[in-house]
């Protein structure tokens, strides 16, 4: 079993929230993934941000670290 990480958790981690990053370290070996919805929210936010190129690079890196799960009935 693993965790489906939501948008706010990713944003808190990017902003170096100590509690969130400690939790990621605590569960380092537990599988984690993003839903396509979370990926779309991160993508939209990055494109609309003051620094779209920088933030899109972060979104791409995040998608490399965590598999993006397509929307299906089991999700």
List C-alpha distances in Å: 23 to 3, 14, 59, 63, 74: 12, 14, 20, 19, 26
pLDDT of 55 strictly over 80: yes
Domain CATH number, residue 62: 3.40.50.1010
Q: Where are the beta strands (DSSP E) in 14-66?
A: 32-35
Give the CA diameter of the chain: 37
SS3 34: strand
In a domain, 60, yes or no: yes
In a domain, 65, yes or no: yes
In a domain, 75, yes or no: no
- What digits encode the pLDDT tens for the residues 7-39? 999 999 999 999 999 999 999 999 999 999 999
Q: How many domains does the chain have?
A: 1
Burial label for 21, CB within 10 Å (0-12, 13-18, 19+), is middle
Print the domain residue range for 50. Answer: 3-69
In a domain, 74, yes or no: no
| 0.85 exceeded by pTM | yes
In a domain, 51, yes or no: yes
């Amino acid at each position: 079993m693993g965790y489906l990480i939501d948008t706010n958790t990713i944003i808190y981690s990017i902003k170096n929230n100590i509690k969130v990053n400690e939790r990621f370290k605590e569960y380092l070996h537990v599988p984690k993934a993003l839903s396509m919805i979370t990926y779309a929210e991160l993508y939209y936010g990055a494109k609309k941000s003051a620094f779209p190129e920088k933030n899109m690079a972060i979104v791409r890196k995040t998608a490399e670290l965590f598999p993006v799960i397509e929307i299906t009935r089991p999700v």
